[in-house]
Structure 1
Amino acid sequence: MDFDALRKIPLFSGLDDAACDRVTSQSSTRMVPADTVLALEGQPCDSLLIIEVGKAVALRTSASGRVARIRVDDAPVAIDKATALTGQNHLFTWMTLTRCRVRTIPRALFLDLVESDRSVLLQTAHHLATQANRSRADFLDAAIQDPATRVLNRLRERADSHGAIALDDGQDGLAAELGLSRVTVTRALGALTDHGVVRVRRNHVQLQP
């Protein structure tokens, strides 16, 4: 992996060549197929996982066996940074949605970078603040917003620079992510389509200008 590619990961965007060399030399990469478990809920976190290519999803399973989809992360991204920072057990099960290239960085190296490199420290702080704000926004949306608004907010959050969203595991995945039923999500997308807000084609959604 060249240094420019490593710096595309927001967490490492400010690393100099020496730090990049250290990360690449002390980490490992592997290609994994879709539906591969990368980290298991309740398992100790001993490394920071980087998705260099592909998409990963965070899942949480209730005592009754109900699976909730928490979030989807697109490459290039470091996943579960907060858990790697604290060293606690994983709160979620992380699984690949697509074929992925995954880099594993020892937790000790990540912590040393946080302590020694100002850019990594600032990116980590930014991530934690963003995560806290998102959690509050999700809570408020669930409490006061109608399903169509919640669906639209999540689509806007996941859209690329052209307003396109790929639903890799279909509307079922979006429903699980929001804690809604598939029927509710289908109706919400239908209402948004009728109002000219989105265009839906199979597992792809396009936000309309």
Structure 2
Amino acid sequence: MSAPDWRRLRGVPLFATLPEAGLRRLWETSVPRHYARGETLRSQGTPADHLLVLLDGTASASATTTAGRVVRFGTWAGPCALDKVALLDGAGHTATVTALTPCAVRAVPRGRFTALLDDSATVRAHVFRLLATQARAQQERLTDTATLPCEARLAAWLLDGLGRDGTDGHVPLPGGQRELADLLGVTRVTVNRALSRLRRDGLIGPTENGGGRIRVLAPELLALRATQYTRHSR
């Protein structure tokens, strides 16, 4: 672990504009929580009385439709703030958040978070900009899920993971192929076939570490595969 105090909050994008005094107050009023792999941090629809700040670990967000299908919204690695929208609209958590790895969390009371928005126009503007950016990215991802072939979606996901986590050329796959299939909006068989095609073409290597990570061999060619079917190239 890095610095075991309020300085750890500096890495959370949501708090980028907060001065030192504000970070200290957040830390002092927050409650530490630890979750083992597979544990539920929060359940869809339950009251959002705290902002969950993920300091260490990786978590996924999902929702279950009325037909019983699980929809994956994505995975998040700390440091970051989870399900911020639920704190603003008061309608309960938008998804079920599950620990994919052991997670260290600070739970910030909702009143403390909303007070930040009320007290500082700078903080308020930053938070709304961040939410707007994330909403736009989510909309683009949903559009791609509905229109792009699985192979293009998979290539884009691998490139995103490579830029975020894969400094050694590997992309973590903490939830396995089932989690990846749900995230891409396809079946496990479909995502398995797409992985096989990328391996056959020499873009990625065999799944390593017991299926826990994928080695990217040709990121430039992977980028071409990701953009081959985009709206701009049609």
TM-score computed with the length of structure 1 as normaliser: 0.91
How far off is 1:177 after superposition?
Answer: 1.1
2:113 paired residue number: 110
Structure 2 stretches lacking a partner, 5+ long = 220-234
2:183 paired residue number: 177
User: For this pair of structures, how many residues does the alignment match?
Assistant: 209
From 17, 20, 44, the counterpart of 1:14:
17
What SS is found at the alignment partner of 1:126?
helix
Are residues 161 and 35 of structure 1, via their aligned partners in 2, closer, same or farther at CA, if it must alter by over 3 Å?
Answer: closer
Residue 54 of structure 1 contacts residue 100 of structure 1 at CA under 8 Å; is this kept in 2? yes
From 75, 93, 98, the counterpart of 2:96:
93
Residue 166 of structure 2 contacts residue 172 of structure 2 at CA under 8 Å; is this kept in 1? no
1:47 paired residue number: 50
From 214, 224, 227, the counterpart of 1:205:
214
Q: Which protein is richer in strand relative to its size?
A: 1
> What residue identity is the alignment partner of 2:184?
L
Residue 37 of structure 1 contacts residue 94 of structure 1 at CA under 8 Å; is this kept in 2? yes
What SS is found at the alignment partner of 2:183?
helix
Comparing both chains, which one has the higher relative contact order based on Cα–Cα distances under 8 Å and sequence gaps of 6 or more? 1
In the alignment, structure 1 residue 77 sits paired with structure 2 residue 80: yes
> What residue identity is the alignment partner of 2:36?
P
Deviates more, 1:50-59 or 1:36-45: 36-45
> What residue identity is the alignment partner of 1:53?
D
In the alignment, structure 1 residue 154 sits paired with structure 2 residue 157: yes
In the alignment, structure 1 residue 28 sits paired with structure 2 residue 38: no
Structure 1 stretches lacking a partner, 5+ long = none
> What residue identity is the alignment partner of 1:71?
G
In the alignment, structure 1 residue 137 sits paired with structure 2 residue 143: no
> What residue identity is the alignment partner of 1:203?
G
In 2, the alpha carbon distance for the partners of 1:198 and 1:126 equals 36
In 2, the alpha carbon distance for the partners of 1:144 and 1:65 equals 23
TM-score computed with the length of structure 2 as normaliser: 0.82
In 2, the alpha carbon distance for the partners of 1:179 and 1:88 equals 26
Show CA shifts across 1:22-63 (max 9, x none): 111111102211111111111121110011110111111122
Show CA shifts across 1:53-101 (max 9, x none): 1011111112232222211110111000111122221121111111111
What SS is found at the alignment partner of 1:101?
strand
> What residue identity is the alignment partner of 1:35?
G
**Superposition RMSD on alpha carbons, in Å?**
1.8
In 2, the alpha carbon distance for the partners of 1:166 and 1:126 equals 29
How far off is 1:12 after superposition?
Answer: 1.4
